[in-house]
């Protein structure tokens, strides 16, 4: 097994987490780190440490560089890395603006280096199963995704780069791209329209923002993000409404999800194959409560219809049972997060070893999420009367 030498540019909160996770991989050696605060870094014996990232990318023994600095630096660093003959794993957001991301892609095509976006959600086994179920149409069409995310800002002082939109791009670019990309990961439909709304606490702090996205086929996704509440309320809920199912995922690294679905024999079998799914209730459709019309209501157009025929979004489906259950990875957030960042790096290493390998999170995914995030941000900023 080949061992890959990795360099990390940016050794702040997330750079350290990546180092911790990657040092546990048998085929990876983190050999170099660059950070503006290089003189303050400790416990990095046997690792070359640089204050100037350009010195790191000159090291001949490095196969891949992870770029883990603030978004406004990604384009310059990514292009320079590839021009220096290094493969790159670029933190989300891929860049500050779509045109910056396109220039990164041009550099990739010119240098033929391997380059990926670090969209770690794509490596979460629960979301991977959900992608399979969605694309196989087990729950019918996906019509709605609603992300509701409350984050604390107690660790984000006013002077933090996060609040400087020229450095971070704002909340949708810096943070929501994870969830925007999740929608793209679940279903590949074209984006038809985007708009946004935001609130500024003061001139510098744009602390609540929302994006609405319409996709071909009728899916409407909403992303609401607030960085304003105490840590006690920190919470992420992702609601997915399919023609035949409601699913609610919890946590920004989703570990669990509650499902209610209308199924037939075939779709139930597919669902039960899922190792993370536990069925808690199943009732024949005749006994399942449909309370859309209370008892005593006059004759409705479905009164004499076969109860197993269901109409949703203008499509006729066949289902004979209503089931409820829980998706549960049965693992801690720490374990799943560690596994995801290891899998994300491994995916890039697989592509370096085998050019035919299809990257799970190519730069194209980084660009598509960034396009939506910037459109919504501009719309939100222009929506002020």
Ligand X SMILES: NC(=O)c1ccc[n+]([C@@H]2O[C@H](COP(=O)([O-])OP(=O)(O)OC[C@H]3O[C@@H](n4cnc5c(N)ncnc54)[C@H](O)[C@@H]3O)[C@@H](O)[C@H]2O)c1
Q: Which residues bind ligand X (CB under 6 A)?
A: 9-15, 34-37, 53, 68-71, 73, 91-92, 118, 120, 174
32: Cβ–Cβ under 8 A, 6 or more apart, which residues? 5, 7, 8, 47, 48, 49, 50, 56, 59, 62
Cα distance between residue 87 and residue 193, in whole Å: 34
* Nearer residue to ligand X within complex by CB, 38 or 214: 38
* Nearer residue to ligand X within complex by CB, 95 or 271: 95
Least distance (Å) between residue 164 CB and ligand X: 12
∠ Cα 96 102 107 (to 5°): 110
* Nearer residue to ligand X within complex by CB, 118 or 153: 118
Least distance (Å) between residue 243 CB and ligand X: 32
Alpha-helical (H) ranges within 138-297 are: 165-168, 171, 177-186, 265-272
Instruction: Report which of 258, 255, 384, 278 is spatially closest to residue 332, judged by C-alpha positions.
Output: 255
- What is the layout of strands, in order, in the sheet containing 115-118? 48-50, 28-34, 4-9, 64-67, 87-91, 115-118
Instruction: Report which of 136, 315, 328 is spatially closest to residue 248, judged by C-alpha positions.
Output: 328
User: To which H or E segment does residue 260 belong?
Assistant: strand 256-263
* Nearer residue to ligand X within complex by CB, 119 or 129: 119
Least distance (Å) between residue 48 CB and ligand X: 14
Least distance (Å) between residue 177 CB and ligand X: 8
Residue that the structure tokens 């791209």 belong to: 177
* Nearer residue to ligand X within complex by CB, 38 or 197: 38
Count other Cβ atoms within 10 Å, centred on residue 109: 12
Determine the residue with CB nearest ligand X: 12
* Nearer residue to ligand X within complex by CB, 133 or 172: 172
Least distance (Å) between residue 96 CB and ligand X: 10
Residue 28's beta-bridge partner residues? 4
Residue 178's beta-bridge partner residues? none
* Nearer residue to ligand X within complex by CB, 120 or 380: 120
Cα distance between residue 90 and residue 363, in whole Å: 9
Cα distance between residue 102 and residue 85, in whole Å: 19
Least distance (Å) between residue 262 CB and ligand X: 35
Cα distance between residue 153 and residue 55, in whole Å: 34
* Nearer residue to ligand X within complex by CB, 53 or 150: 53
């Amino acid at each position: 097994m080949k061992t890959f030498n990795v360099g990390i540019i940016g050794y702040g909160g997330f750079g350290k987490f990546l180092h911790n996770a990657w040092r546990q991989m048998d085929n990876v050696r983190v050999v170099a780190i660059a950070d503006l605060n290089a003189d303050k870094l400790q416990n990095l014996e046997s690792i070359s440490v640089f204050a100037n990232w350009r010195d790191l990318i000159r090291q001949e023994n490095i196969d891949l560089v992870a770029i883990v600095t603030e978004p406004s630096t990604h384009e310059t660093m990514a292009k320079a890395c590839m021009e220096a003959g290094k493969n790159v794993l670029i933190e989300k957001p891929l860049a500050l603006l779509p045109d910056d991301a396109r220039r990164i892609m041009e550099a990739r095509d010119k240098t033929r280096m391997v380059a990926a976006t670090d969209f770690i959600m794509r490596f979460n086994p629960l979301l991977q199963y959900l992608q399979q179920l969605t694309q196989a149409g087990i729950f019918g069409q996906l019509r709605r995704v609603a992300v509701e995310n409350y984050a604390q800002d107690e660790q984000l002082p006013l002077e933090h780069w996060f609040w400087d939109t020229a450095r971070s791009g704002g909340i949708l670019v810096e943070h929501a791209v994870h969830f925007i990309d999740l929608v793209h990961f679940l279903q590949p439909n074209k984006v038809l329209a985007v708009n946004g709304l935001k609130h500024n606490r003061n001139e510098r702090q744009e602390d609540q923002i929302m994006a609405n996205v319409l996709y071909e086929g009728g899916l409407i996704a909403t992303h609401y993000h607030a960085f304003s509440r105490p840590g006690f309320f920190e919470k992420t809920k992702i609601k997915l409404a399919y023609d035949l199912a409601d699913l609610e995922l919890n946590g920004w690294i989703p570990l669990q999800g509650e499902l209610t679905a209308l199924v037939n024999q075939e779709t139930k079998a597919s669902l039960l194959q899922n190792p993370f799914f536990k069925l808690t209730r199943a009732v024949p459709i005749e006994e399942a409560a449909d309370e859309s019309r209370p008892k005593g209501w006059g004759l409705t157009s479905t009164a004499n219809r076969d109860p197993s025929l269901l109409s949703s979004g203008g499509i006729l489906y066949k289902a004979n049972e209503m089931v409820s259950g829980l998706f549960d990875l049965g693992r801690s957030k720490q374990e799943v997060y560690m596994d995801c960042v290891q899998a994300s790096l491994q995916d890039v290493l697989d592509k370096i070893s085998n050019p035919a390998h299809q990257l799970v999170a190519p730069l194209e995914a980084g660009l598509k999420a960034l396009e939506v995030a910037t459109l919504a941000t501009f719309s939100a900023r222009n929506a002020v009367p």
